[in-house]
Amino acid sequence: MLLEGHGYNTVLLDSYPTGVVDELLDGAHLLILTPRVDQGVRQAFLGAMGKRVLQKAEMPVIALSTSVEEELPEKETVIRVPWPCKTKVLVDHIEATLLDALAAFSAPTTQARTE
């Protein structure tokens, strides 16, 4: 695989994945949606993320998009990356996305004090 040469472990899902979405994403830190995946499948997959494992709802998503695509999945953490692109460009987007997700996860939360 393209990304395995850069130290990433990748798992390909079927175009129409069957099974519990959170279980399919077990061990994943990032979801990359390819341009050829049906828009309805994208929406359904993203909508099902986090239904059983709450942490999966916050998983960052990169959507590889071609100029012929009209709309992207509606999810706050979906990052659009033009496709095709050079491997280095994709790896840079992946690194930045994972760093942002790590920073958000490890950021201290502010709690109101009551006295």
Domains of the chain as residue ranges with CATH: 4-106 (3.40.50)
Tens-digit pLDDT string for the chain (115 aa): 678 888 888 888 877 777 888 888 888 889 998 888 888 888 888 888 887 777 777 889 998 988 655 565 555 668 889 999 999 999 999 999 999 988 877 766 555 544 4
Report whether 36 contacts 68 (CB < 8 A): no
| pTM of the predicted protein model | 0.80
Report whether 10 contacts 4 (CB < 8 A): yes
